[in-house]
Structures are given as structure tokens and as C-alpha cells.
Chains A and B, each alone.
Chain A
Amino acid sequence: MIRNKMSNTFSHSAEASILQPETKLIGNLFFLLAVLLAPDFTYLLCILVVQVVLAIVIKTPPRTCLTGMKSFLWIIILTAGFQLLMTPGEILWQWKVITISREGLWHAGFIGMQLLQIIFSIQILLLNSKPVELAAGFGRILQPLQRVRIPTGELVMVMTISLSFIPIMMQEARDIRQAQKARGALFNTGSLQKRLRAQLALLVPLFSAAFRRADDLATAMEGRGYIPGQPRTSMYETRLQKADYMLLTISICLFLSMWIV
């Protein structure tokens, strides 16, 4: 399950890479704000239409997108259900202690829609970018903060590296678990004490592997001239292109139209 989700997250469609990661992040931010601050249903529906069109234009794989969203379905249902039952107001239907009000119905629908669109928006972002790229883009957005002595370069380096080490560490965890099963360790049966012990047996070698990696990595990075806090250049020049400007314009206009209409 986790493995599937990860491989989805790490997948990449080349078409979307015409957009710079900064644009994707900022565009997404405006979409999220627009959804969160939306005054009414009509506005929400307008955003949804734009989202769907965008998703199609940048060729988001529809099946993966839907499967990804399905795993969040119960959160949406739970939240909407809570709103439905807990909002007081003009009573439409009643059975014993359970009452459903007109306001409750409206709230449930509205919040459900908002959640759905937030998840949709984030799905589009993740399915069309590599995590490492996003981390780099995030770093460039935060770059001005370096003036006030916030080490954004280092933060981004840490993010980037953790992301590229996740698949390796997951493989390692699987290998260790297999090896311990081969020695008769039980992970899901036996007393609580036995299970805790089995988990500990997994964690110790995993941590020692992580430390060994960290040590090698630090040596390698130092050896390749990385000095924390020193300026670096990038192989890729960030040049915003037509597509970037279009996306930014659309998302900002959409956000601002909230007050105009």
C-alpha cells in the first residue's frame, strides 16, 4: 500500500516539466487559497472546472489520480457527515436524536466540495512533478529569506537528500524484515512484549544503516566541494516561460475574482 503510494508520488510525466516547480507551487497556493476562502457554491464550481481543464491540459494520468483520491474519500465523508449532523438550523428531517437541518445539508456539501478540491489540487501537483524538483523550487522561492539569516539552502539540501534516500531506506527495511523472518522473528503474532522486541530488532539495524549512510554521504558531499552556507550555482537556469506566466495569471485572476463577482 505504502509502496504503491510512493511509486505514484515519484512518478513523473515529462509533459508537465515545461512548467517550473516555482510556478507549480505558487499556482497551487493560489488555488488552495481560492478554495478555502470561496464565498459560495458557484465560485467553487468555477474553480473545479478550471482545475479539471488544467489537469487535462498538463496530461495528468486520470486513473492514477482517481485511485490516489479514493484513499482520502473516507476523510471527506466523515467530515461532511459530521457537518450534516452537528449543524443546527431549520429542521428538514428528524429521527429520534438524529436531526438534519437545511444549514447542515449546505455545510456538508460545501465543506465536502472544498476538501475534495484541495486534495485534487495537491494530487495534480504531486502527479506532475518530482519531489526533488519541488524541494528545489521551494528553496528558490524561499531564497529571499537568506537575507534575514535563515539557512534556506541547507534546508532544501536536507529535503532533497531525504527524498532521494526514502526509496533506498524502504528497500533496506524490507530486506531486514525478511532476514529476521528467516530467523523466526514474528512481527504480527505473539505477546505485546514479543512484538515490541521484534520491532526493535528492525529499528536498530535500520538506524545503524541510516547513520552509516549519513556518514558516507557527508564525506562524499564534503569531498565534492559542498560547504554549508556557501553560495552554489545551479545546472538549470530558471527562466519562466509562456506556460508559467499563463498558469500564474490564471491562478491569481481566479483568486482575485472572488471579490469582484
Chain B
Amino acid sequence: MSLTAEQISFAYAKQEFIIKNLTFSLERGEIVGLLGYSGSGKSTLLQLLKGLLQPVKGFILIDGQAGRGKEKIKRDVGLLIQMPERQLFETTVYEDVAFGPQNMGIPKQECQERVRASLDEVGLRYDSYKDRSPHQLSSGEKRRAALAGILAMRPSYLLLDEPTAGLDYEGRQRIMQIVARLKDQNIGILIVSHHLNELITMADRLLVLEKGKVVLQGKPIEIIEDLESYFFAGHGLRPAREVLLGLAKHDLSFDSTSYTPEEIAEQIRNRWEEKG
């Protein structure tokens, strides 16, 4: 079961191609990280997968069925845009989360159940949040309320455009915890982010987009070094990685795919204890 793009291309009328001949698939229960500089076509790809834009060439399949213009794409693919809290508009959190299901024609009883479940999912207690105005929530809570609005549509695939941008450390962690739980519910998740750290530790696969083409892809630990040279050209790496690479320059090499400070420190420590 997967969301698949087969050789899709996209361009606005008489303009250059934003997406060129791109093939991509997202399995259920998988987290894929999408990286790339601004203008590489990341947001356009999300809009194509959601069916908000139609590819000029190629097609998109949902669980093997062509999704073009069908109801299925509306229901099965959820898209959380950048800074989604900016488009909360209802007077209560309940109404806002219910907006999607209501548009789908879900009966009232079930709608209420869905709102309750999705608010719980994002850690906003239904009873204490449902009647509050979305505008009075903190920025992290607003972001999660917006996510609940997408989850209430019960998508099988979730597209997240910079879900942690602008949030503080705690806010980012909370979102990533939610994402991990959604993965366990067998939802396929595509995350666009410039927080490389989050993607490397969470994603099953990473893709790098440049001018509408995939230029790099693979499991995070297999492509860490390529990613670092692509995005940072050797500068501005995660500090723990800088230590690892700095030590290698002094003939002290450790596993070059370890990424977190804990992993790297453990290795140094073991070496120290071996030495006695």
C-alpha cells in the first residue's frame, strides 16, 4: 500500500519545469524526509501529491489506483501547510478541527468522535480545549490544533511542510513524538524540514530535491556524509558531528555514521576504557 508518483512533471503555463520526471513512493507506516534549498520544488511536490495541482506529465497512484481528480486523494492524503496556525479561522477549536470532516459530509456523531480522537492524538485534552478560541492558544498548541484538523480527516498518508519551523525545542519535540506515534498507526508520512537533526534521527529514508529532481536519496546513516557536504559544504554541521570529523583529522576515527552526541561520546568512552 503506497502513495506513488510515476514520472511526474509539473510547470505553470509557459514557465520552466518545477518538477521534472520525478518518481517517488511513500509506503504506509514509513517516514520519509524531504530536503532541499528553497525553490527546489518541495512545496510543489506536496501540492501535487495532495492533488491540489495536476501533473502535466505522469500520474499519481494511491494504493494502486489513479488518484487524479478523484475523491480518494481528497480523503486519503492529508497536507499540513507551512505555518498552518495562520489559517485557523473558526471561533472554537472544536469547529476548526471539525471543518475537514464536515466538508467530507461525515455525520455529526462520528464527527464529534473524530475531533475528540484527533485532539487527544496531538495532546490537547478534548474537554479543556474544545470550546477555546484557537487564537488564544500558544504557538505550539496552535500548530498541534492545526495538525488535529488534518488528522480528523483520517488520512492514510500525511504530508507535513516544515511542521516544526519557528517552534522552540519543546514544541519541536512534541510534534516529532506525535509523528512517531502516527507512524505506528501505519500512516505514511512525508516531512519537509530544514532541521536535518530531526530528519536524520526519525526518517526511514531521505530524499534531496534540486530543481525538481531527486539528487540524493537513501537511508539516513548511509548518506549522512553526502548530506553534510551537500548542505553545509563542511561548515555548520551538528556540533557532535564536528567533533567526530575533527577527531578523524587527528587519526582518531570512529564509526563515521554515528550522529547523536550520545552515540559518539559512548564510542570515545569505550576507546578510553579499553586503553585502561
Residues of B within 8 A of A178 (CB): 47, 52, 81
- B135: A residues at CB distance < 8 A: 208
Interface residues in A149-193 (C-beta closer than 8 Å to B)? 172, 175-176, 178-186
Q: Which of A179, A184, A204, A208 contacts B84 (CB 8 A)?
A: A179
Question: Of residues B47, B78, B86, which shows the largest number of chain A Cβ atoms within 10 Å of its Cβ?
Answer: B86
Q: Judge if B232 is at the interface, Cβ distance under 8 Å.
A: no
Are A184 and B52 in contact, CB atoms less than 8 angstroms apart? no
Residues of B within 8 A of A183 (CB): 99-100, 103, 149-150, 153
Main secondary structure of the interface of B (DSSP, over half): helix
Interface centre among B87, B90, B103, B150 (most CB of A within 10 A): B87
What are the residues of chain A within 8 A of B153 when measuring CB–CB? 183-184
Q: Which of A183, A200, A201: most chain B CB closer than 10 A? A: A183
Q: Are B87 and A179 in contact (CB under 8 A)?
A: yes
For chain B residues 85-107, which have a beta carbon within 8 Å of chain A? 86-90, 99-100, 103-104
Encode B115-155 as 1/0 by CB contact (under 8 A) with A.
Answer: 00000000000000000000100000000000001100100
Q: Interface of chain A, helix or strand or loop or mixed?
A: helix
Provide the bound-state CA to CA distance between A182 and B78, in Å.
Answer: 7
Say yes or no for A209: interface residue by CB 8 A criterion.
yes
Contact B103–A184 (Cβ < 8 Å): yes
Most chain B CB within a 10 A radius of its CB, from A172, A205, A209: A205
Q: Which residues of A contact B89 (CB under 8 A)?
A: 200-201, 204-205, 208
A185 to B99, CA, bound (A): 8
Contacts of B99 in A (CB 8 A): 183, 185, 201
Q: Which of A178-229 contact B (CB under 8 A)?
A: 178-186, 200-201, 204-205, 208-209
Cβ of B79 within 8 Å of any chain A Cβ, yes or no, is yes
Shortest Cβ distance from B99 into A: residue: A183
Specify which chain A residues have a CB less than 8 angstroms from the CB of B50 in the assembled complex.
182
Q: Give the chain A neighbours of B81 by CB distance below 8 A.
A: 175, 178-179, 182
**Contact among B82, B86, B100 for A209, CB-based, below 8 A:** B86
In the complex, chain B residues whose CB is within 8 Å of the CB of A180: 87
B72 interface residue per 8 A CB criterion = no
Q: Are A182 and B103 in contact (CB under 8 A)?
A: no
The answer to whether A205 touches B87 (Cβ under 8 A) is: yes
Find out whether the CB atom of A182 lies under 8 angstroms from the CB atom of B52: yes
C-alpha spacing A181/B99, complex, angstroms: 11
- In the complex, what residues of A have CB within 8 A of residue B88's CB? 205
A209 neighbours in B (Cβ, 8 Å):
86
Asked if B194 is at the interface of the complex by the 8 Å CB criterion, the answer is: no
Q: Is B74 an interface residue (CB 8 A)?
A: yes
Shortest Cβ gap from A3 to chain B (Å):
11
Give the docked Cα–Cα distance between A184 and B104 (Å).
7
CA separation between A208 and B87, bound complex, in Å? 9
A176 touches B100 (CB 8 A): no
For residue B114, give the distance in angstroms from its CB to the closest CB of chain A.
13
Q: Is the CB of A176 within 8 A of B86?
A: yes
Residue on B nearest A178 in the bound complex, by CB: B52
**How far is the CB of B164 from the nearest CB of chain A, in Å?**
18
Q: Which residue of A lies closest to B77 (CB)?
A: A182
- Residue B74 contacts which of A179, A184, A201, A205 (CB distance < 8 angstroms)? A184
**Cross-chain contact B79 with A182 (CB below 8 angstroms):** yes
List residues of chain A with CB within 8 A of the CB of B86.
Answer: 172, 176, 205, 208-209
**A208–B82 alpha-carbon span in the complex (Å):** 17
Whole-angstrom CA separation of A186 from B149 in the bound complex: 16
Given the interface contacts A204-B89, A205-B88, does A181 sit within 8 Å of B52 by beta carbon? yes
In the complex the two chains form, what is the Cα distance from A178 to B82 in whole Å? 11
Q: How far is the CA of A180 from the CA of B74 in the complex (A)?
A: 12
Question: B87 — which chain A residues lie within 8 A by C-beta?
Answer: 175-176, 179-180, 205
Query: Which B residues touch A176, using CB under 8 A?
Result: 86-87
Bound Cα distance from A179 to B84, whole angstroms: 8
A114 to B113, CA, bound (A): 66
Tell me, in angstroms, the Cα distance from A204 to B153 when the chains sit together. 22
Which chain B residues border A208 with CB–CB below 8 Å? 86, 89, 135
> Chain B's nearest CB lies how many Å from the CB of A173?
11
Question: Among the interface residues B74, B88, B103, B104, which one has the most CB atoms of the partner chain A within 10 A?
Answer: B103
Sort A-B residue pairs by CB-CB distance and give the 6 closest, nearest first.
A184-B103, A204-B89, A183-B100, A182-B79, A205-B87, A179-B81
Interface residues, chain A, with chain B CB atoms under 8 Å away: 172, 175-176, 178-186, 200-201, 204-205, 208-209
21 contacts between A and B (CB under 8 A): A172-B86, A175-B81, A175-B87, A176-B86, A181-B52, A182-B79, A182-B81, A182-B150, A183-B99, A183-B100, A183-B103, A183-B153, A184-B74, A184-B103, A184-B153, A185-B99, A185-B103, A186-B103, A200-B89, A201-B99, A204-B89
Could you list 17 further interchain pairs (A-B, Cβ under 8 angstroms) beyond the known A182-B50, A182-B78? Answer: A172-B86, A176-B87, A178-B47, A178-B52, A179-B84, A182-B52, A182-B79, A182-B81, A182-B150, A183-B100, A183-B103, A184-B74, A184-B103, A201-B99, A205-B87, A208-B86, A208-B89
